[in-house]
Structure 1
Amino acid sequence: MTNDPIPASISTDPADGTVRYDAERLIPNKVKAEIVLNGQSYTLRITRTGKLILTK
């Protein structure tokens, strides 16, 4: 995992504060990205059919 800056959000819902990201900006190689939460690593993948899968 690199220390690249987090991609900028594309919008924020003012009603509830939900931040929206473009998955292709989160996963620039269009294959997979690693997300870390509390020291646990998760893999976010874009499938060949354009769906997202998050696995631990």
Structure 2
Amino acid sequence: MQQKNLSIMHPRPSSIVAALYTLRDLNVEVAILHGPPGCSFKHARLLEED
């Protein structure tokens, strides 16, 4: 039986969050965020824990 390579894609809630996850995948050490309170900061905190 032939095995298939399986890729799992996770949806991103916004383009800003998508960029943050892309930066993480590229091993970027620092990302500076600014904006109104609650603007993607929840995801930034989750990325800090990764």
TM-score by length of 2: 0.27
Give 1 or 2: higher helix fraction.
Answer: 2
Give 1 or 2: higher strand fraction.
Answer: 1
Larger Rg: 2
TM-score by length of 1: 0.25
